[in-house]
Structure 1
Amino acid sequence: MRAAIVRDFGTPSEVTAIAELQRPTPGKGEVLLRVKAVSLNYVDLVVISGRYQFKPPLPFTPGKGPAGIIEAVGEGVTAWKPGDRVLAMAEIGSYAEFTLAPADQCYALPDAMPFADAAAMALAYDTAWFALHERGRLQAGETVLVLGASGAVGHAAVMLAKAAGAKVLAGITNPAKAPMLVDAGADAIIDLAAPDLRDKLRDQVKAATGGGVDVVIDMLGDVYFEAALRALAWRGRLVVVGFAGGRIPEVKANYLLVKNIEVSGLQISDYRKRRPADVAACFADIFALHGAGKVRPMPMETMPLDDVAQALGRLATRQVAGRLVLLPGSRTEPL
């Protein structure tokens, strides 16, 4: 089978190549998946560069969250059979024509859901869902501020929050991204590039809501976190998802006490290991919302597996407007 391979850690576009590898055999509790589509994610760049918290042994094939068709099942697997359409939360190995995945981390795809849609929504939608519903305890009628709303997780959070009946404020630094977020359901745009953001973010939120926000989903950290904390309403909840803005911020605990607010964090892969039933319920809800036309992946571009190095280079240099999805099979195969 053809697969991307990384023999040494380094610049993703330079160390990732295509090679012919032996097709793997599923072991106990595993399935072999014929990969139809897999998205490229920022975390893949970190893994390939060797900067991720867990380094895979070299050589390895990168890629998370493939969508495809089960080709074979390993010992003890009774929930799946060859021919089943699934999204698999494989942590690695998915930039390939075939990959292995834990059977208990596969989720049945509706027949009408395109593989490319499923791959583009993987990692982004489940992260946003848990941030909003499990950590943020979002209720219909509340107000949500999404920091970094133009990214994959941010775009997903906007759509999911709107589908849940919330008023949604989309925080972005590039005003050119505003139309995409309004189309996704944002009720107001918050300018994160405004000067004196510590005060200006709260002023913008107050103008849009008449008060503060109930939930903040923060992918940025840095000064954006500190400014958003001041924009929380009484009993508001801020969920830390990442630090794409750079600096990791600190919290003064007395401020949490005075406003009765809380800050929590989300590391989505822990839920897959510790609470698999919750993750299954999450994807069932996401797929149902997709089928009802209430959520969709952000704009995507597809590329063949052979172009993986070019695709990683574009991702690293932020030359991708939406989601970039690899199609390991023939270009003529249906998605």
Structure 2
Amino acid sequence: MKAVVIEEFGPPSKASLQDLPMPEPGPGQLLIEVEAAPVNFVDSLVFGGSYQFLPQRPFTPGKGPAGKILALGAGVEGFKTGQRVLGMAEHGGYAQAALVPAADSYVLPDSVSSEDAGVLSLAFDTAWTALFEQGRMQPGETVLVLGATGAVGNAAMQLAKIKGGRVLAAVSSPDRAEEVMRYGADGIIDLSQENLRDSLRAQVHAQTGGKGADVVIDPLGGDIFDAALRAVAWRGRVVVVGFAAGRIPTIKANYLMLKNIEVSGLQVSDYRKRRPDILDAAFREILTLAAEGRILPGPRKTYPLEDFATALDDLLERRARGRVLLLPNGSAA
């Protein structure tokens, strides 16, 4: 089989596409033919060696691939060969076949394709946990979604709307407004306005009667986080899920006291290790909603496996709208 292999950390172009023996599943593992592998911002940290969880080199990167079960490891129950699954592995997805833990794998409904599952992977489970565990969103609350056109942002908008939230979608420019309105946004926050520190708060207050946002989902960080913190309602909750804007912000703790604000961070991989019951509930609800057509996996751009470096670069440079997927065993467009 062909697989991307990281032997030395560095830019994605430093990794290589190699021919490797087909792996055999160990106890508690599934071997899947990878039909879709999501390309994530966090993958750039893995290639560069700065991610907090890294296996011993050489290894194949790629989190959360979807595909067809080829073989079962010892002790695996509840699965059979030929089933399509989403396997929430921490690595291995950038390959034609991958080993995934059975305990973190989910059989896909017939109406949810492997590509759709790749779009859902790592985005919808992150958004679900951020909204309903860390953020404790309640029906009727206002949710400010930063980075609304990204994978986690799109997921957060849809899930918040389904659970009765009012969604304000923050976009980089007004021409992205129609895009987010299709996925449930009730209002738009324009991040391109001058004096972001004041303009973001003014826009949120104008759409909440001066109250502010009850929950903020932030995959961006940087100046946008700083501005959003000023737009949080009394007893509001801010959930940090990433720093795609670059700078890791700092917080003055006295500001949290003034408005009884909570700021928490989410590393969804820790939930898989420490509270698998919560992520199991998340995925079962997400896949049910997708099967019912109540959430839309959304647009995607697909690439062949050998174009993994281009796919990641297009994601990081925001040249690809929608989710970026590798199709290791199929055509891409």
TM-score by length of 2: 0.95
Q: Aligned AA for 1:85? A: R
Q: Say which SS state the counterpart of residue 46 (structure 1) adopts.
A: helix
CA deviation after TM superposition for structure 1 residue 315, in Å: 2.6
Answer whether contact 2:214 2:237 (CA < 8 A) is retained: yes
Alignment partner, residue 27 of structure 1: 26
Structure 1: give runs of 5+ residues left out of the alignment.
none
Q: Is 1:91 matched with 2:90?
A: yes
Cα shift at 1:239: 0.8
Query: What is the match of residue 193 of structure 2?
Result: 194
Corresponding residue number in structure 2 for 1:278: 278
Cα drift, residue 46 of structure 1: 1.5
TM-fit CA distance, 1:158: 0.9
Matches within 5 A, 1:8-23: 8-12=8-12, 14-23=13-22
**Aligned equivalent of 1:241:** 241
Unaligned runs of 5+ residues in structure 2 are none
8 Å CA contact retained: 1:152, 1:298:
no
Give the residue type in structure 1 aligned to 2:287: F
**Are the counterparts in 2 of residues 128 and 154 from structure 1 also a CA contact under 8 Å?**
yes
1:135 is matched with: 134
Matched, 1:175 2:174: yes
Say which SS state the counterpart of residue 170 (structure 2) adopts: strand
- Equivalent AA in structure 2 for residue 214 of structure 1: D
Structure-to-structure mapping, 1:319-330, within 5 angstroms: 319-330=319-330
Root-mean-square deviation (Å): 1.6
Q: Which amino acid aligns with 2:168?
A: L
Q: TM-score, normalised by structure 1?
A: 0.94
Q: What is the Cα deviation at residue 265 of structure 1?
A: 1.2
Say whether the 8 Å CA contact 2:146–2:216 is kept in structure 1: yes
Partner residue in 2 for 1:220: 220
Question: How far did residue 285 of structure 1 move?
Answer: 0.8
Counterpart of 1:107 in structure 2 is: 106
Deviation, structure 1 residue 124:
0.7
Does the 8 Å contact 2:167/2:184 carry over to 1?
Answer: yes
Letter of the structure 1 residue corresponding to residue 191 of structure 2: L
Q: 1:87 to 1:275 in 2, by over 3 A?
A: same
* 8 A Cα contact 1:17 1:309, kept in partner: no
Letter in 2 for 1:180: E
- Whether the 8 Å CA contact 2:41–2:244 is kept in 1: the answer is no
Identity of aligned residues (%): 55
Report the Cα offset of residue 89 of structure 1.
Answer: 0.5
- Number of residue-to-residue matches in the alignment: 331
CA drift at 1:10:
1.8
